[in-house]
Structure 1
Amino acid sequence: MHEVGYHRVVHNTFLIFLSVIIIQCSYADPLNVTVPQSRLTAARGHSVILGCEFSPVFGKNPDISSLVLTWQRKEDNRVVHSFYYEQNQLNTQNFAYQNRTSLFRNQLNKGNASVKIDNVGVQDAGHYLCIVSTNQGTDRAELQLDYGAFYTEPRLTISVDSSDISVQYETEGFPAPEVMWKGGHGENLSEQTTTSMQSDEGMGLYHIKSSYTAPNKPLNFTFILKNQLLHQHLQRPVIISGKQLTK
């Protein structure tokens, strides 16, 4: 009877221990993937970091063998960057992103799943998915990347004849800007100006030509261009004196 009682106690102890494990597993935190910013803007030729975080993290444990991280385009499922078996899987990467992406390898165990994209172009605009899998499960988060290009330094051309003066500025950037001309006292000169915008979709640029025509006399005015997306504000004052009016 004593031996039977002993085995019964051992059996009950095992069941209690097993129950504790099951309860702990059932209350383990599920994997959660988030993005700090759901919408980002990147400038042509620059780099951008698509932020992504996951928890629970591996903590001080350097073993990330269970981590599978994939960045892909939502529109067409193109793979931007993939990581598993503790290394980058560049053979799965879409050719458009080759040699342009990188992870923060030493921060993966801390939950940093961000990817850096270099030399941004118009083709990079769109929606991205950050997909993470660990022993805690699988989760994903989405963000949108907008594209812009800073407008180049406006190129000035001045033409003078016996009756008129024509001043033209040319520049390239993206998206379509707000263009205006103002007189020396801040007055709007739009009635004397013409602006053309030609889009190069492949390059992701607008080619802007804006000109102001006035009678042949001393002038003081300002060309203004605003790229609201990139918070770019260009002002180029033009002063034409009497010495410049002879052809």
Structure 2
Amino acid sequence: KPLLLYVFLFYWHFLNALFTVEAPQSLYIVEHGNNVTMECTFPVNGKLKFRDLSVSWEKKDELKKQVYVLLKGEEDFKSQHSDFRGRIKLLKENLNFGQSLLQITDVKLRDAGFYHCVIGYGGADYKTISLKVKAPYRTITQGIVSTGDNEWKLTCQSEGYPQAEVIWQNGEYEDLTDKSSTSYETGSDQLYRVTSTLTIKSRIDEIFYCIFWNKELQENTSA
């Protein structure tokens, strides 16, 4: 019996050594609200036998979140985490070519993290793929209110992620940021709503700029 067990374990490791899952791309960066398709590949060697195929995509958080399961050729959504319900599709026609393509629609900030693509087909293997989600501060809403005696209250507001710094400049590009105040709020979608206000004495024809600087993404948007 010990010899039989040894032979079985050797054969199992030998099969897994032959069966290798690959990730053509280990990092995906997508904008909040867009769609993303992540890919891992596996050897098929001839016509795919769906009944022998199992595919699992899992998100590795503090607790494992099941994203998608195909068990012996049949989809199983019973264990799918509520975070992904209604937003996940596996492009099954590509399985014939040894491609496991997972599509996530309407990407949320909470979707960012590490995913395991696990394939069982004769042997078994997995690869880890990283998903990063960004939300640039594309649209800036501006406001201007006269507070009397050539004094003006200028306001700029925008939403994005991660948290941005707001820089104020005049028409000569002098930095006025230390005269401004900026507040941050987060909504249920985890986006930051950034509101910055500058109160300054000025002629009515002077120009001022507010710049949302996203240090982590190395991006800025100005108005």
TM over 0.5: yes
Q: What are the residue-to-residue correspondences of 1:141-152 with 2, within 5 Å?
A: 141-151=127-137
| 1:204 Cα deviation after fit | 1.0
What is the CA distance between 1:229 and its match in structure 2? 5.5
Residue 235 of structure 1: aligned partner:
222
Stretches of structure 2 lacking an aligned partner (at least 5 in a row): 1-13
Alpha-carbon distance between aligned partners in 2 of 1:101 and 1:64, rounded to the nearest angstrom: 20
Q: Which has the larger radius of gyration?
A: 1
> Are residues 81 and 229 of structure 1, via their aligned partners in 2, closer, same or farther at CA, if it must alter by over 3 Å?
farther
The answer for unaligned runs of 5 or more in structure 1 is 1-25, 237-247
**Which residue in 2 is equivalent to 1:43?**
31
- Alpha-carbon deviation of 1:189? 1.9
Task: Say which of 179, 187, 190 aligns to 1:204.
Answer: 190
Query: Is the CA contact (8 Å cut-off) linking 2:135 and 2:161 kept in structure 1?
Result: yes
Q: 1:107-118, aligned counterparts within 5 Å?
A: 107-118=94-105
| Structure 1 residues 166-185: Cα deviation after superposition (integer angstroms, max 9, x where no partner) | 11011111111232122222
- Aligned-CA RMSD value: 2.3
Q: CA deviation at 1:29?
A: 6.5
Task: Give 2:143's aligned residue.
Answer: 157
1:132 counterpart (104, 119, 122) = 119
Change (3 A) 1:229 1:41: farther
TM-score by length of 2: 0.82
- Structure 1 consecutive aligned stretches of length 4 or more whose deviation exceeds 3 Å: 26-29, 226-233
Task: Supply the AA of the counterpart residue of 2:168.
Answer: W
Q: Helix, strand or coil: the match of 1:92?
A: coil
Q: What is the aligned partner in structure 2 of residue 20 from structure 1?
A: none
| Contact 1:58-1:110 within 8 A present in 2 as well | no
Shift of 1:191: 2.4
SS of corresponding position for 2:155: strand
Q: Which amino acid aligns with 1:170?
A: Q
For residue 153 of structure 2, the aligned residue among 147, 162, 166 is: 166
Q: Give distance in 2, aligned partners of 1:177 and 1:58.
A: 50
CA drift of 1:198 comes to 2.2
Is 1:74–2:60 an aligned residue pair? yes
- Quickly say closer, same or farther: Cα 1:114–1:27, change in 2 above 3 A: closer
Trace 1:189-228 onto structure 2 (pairs within 5 A).
189-200=176-187, 202-217=188-203, 218-227=205-214
Deviation of 1:152 after TM superposition, in Å, equals 5.2
Amino acid at match of 1:186: Y
What do the CA deviations read for 1:38-63 (whole angstroms, capped 9, x no partner)? Answer: 23223222211122122x2244x143
Following the alignment from structure 1 to structure 2, what is the Cα–Cα distance between the partners of residues 42 and 49? Answer: 10
Q: How far is 1:28 from its partner?
A: 9.6
Give percent identity, aligned residues only: 26
SS in structure 2 at match of 1:78: strand
TM-score, with structure 1 as normaliser: 0.75
Quote the Cα distance in structure 1 between the aligned partners of 2:217 and 2:54. Answer: 34
Q: Tell me how far 1:232 sits from its aligned partner.
A: 5.0
* Number of the residue aligned with 1:242: none
Number of aligned residue pairs: 207
